[in-house]
Amino acid sequence: ERINPGDKLHTIEKILKVTSGSTPDAALQIDDLYKSVITAGTHMAPTIRVAEAAKVIENSQRDINIAFVNELAKIFNKLNINTNDVLAAARTKWNFLPFTPGLVGGHCIGVDPYYLAQKAQSVGYHPEIILAGRRVNDSMGSYVASEVIKLMISKDIILKDAKVLILGFTFKENCPDVRNTKVIDIYNNLTEYSINASVYDPLADPIQVKQEYGISNLTNLSGEKYDAIVLAVAHNEFLKMDLRLISNENTVVYDVKGVLKAGADQTL
Angle, helices 183-191 vs 140-154, to 10°: value is 50
* Catalytic annotation, pick one of 73, 108, 197, 243: 108
Q: Which of 110, 230, 212 is nearest to 168 (CA)?
A: 230
Q: How far apart, in Å, are the Cα atoms of 246 and each of 114, 140, 163, 222, 230?
A: 40, 26, 11, 9, 12
Residue 83 DSSP SS3: helix
Residue 163, C-beta contacts closer than 8 angstroms, at least 6 positions apart: 195, 196, 198, 224, 225, 226, 227, 228
Active site residue 175: no
Radius of gyration of the chain (CA): 21
Provide the annotated active-site residues.
Answer: 108
